[in-house]
Amino acid sequence: MQCQTVLPGTECTFMSKNGCVFPGGSCQNIVEDCEGCEKIVESSIGKVCSVYPAPAKKWANGICNFATHAKIEIKVEDVKVNPLKASKKASGGKKK
């Protein structure tokens, strides 16, 4: 249904015949960590997120997985492989 609270006319899964069913009855404003994200939209209560109604929760346990301005960095450390052991492993460790 279309939002009838802070983003009138925007399709939203939380809007029902009885109004917004999200806790608090409305989207919540973005948090400082959201600044720079492309999902931010202006609403009647200020800046809100277009894909998640409670931005603070998205940042509670690390980087928001919807963020366009911040990505999770996965560091792959150099793993040194002993060529002899790798060869043995590949051949199933069988001696000829």
Cα distance between residue 56 and residue 40, in whole Å: 13
Whichever of 6 and 30 has its CB closer to ligand SF4, that residue is 30
- Cβ at position 93, least distance to ligand SF4 in Å: 49
If DSSP codes are grouped into helix, strand and coil, which group holds residue 36?
coil
On whether the CB atoms of residues 36 and 77 are closer than 8 A, the answer is: no
Cα distance between residue 32 and residue 86, in whole Å: 48
Cα distance between residue 79 and residue 81, in whole Å: 6
- Cβ at position 62, least distance to ligand SF4 in Å: 11
Token pair, residue 35, equals 């600044």
Whichever of 15 and 30 has its CB closer to ligand SF4, that residue is 30
Whichever of 15 and 67 has its CB closer to ligand SF4, that residue is 67
Q: Segment 12-71, which members bind ligand SF4 (CB under 6 A)?
A: 30, 34, 37, 39-40, 49, 51-52, 55, 58, 64, 66-67
Q: What residues make contact with ligand SF4 under the rule CB under 6 A?
A: 30, 34, 37, 39-40, 49, 51-52, 55, 58, 64, 66-67
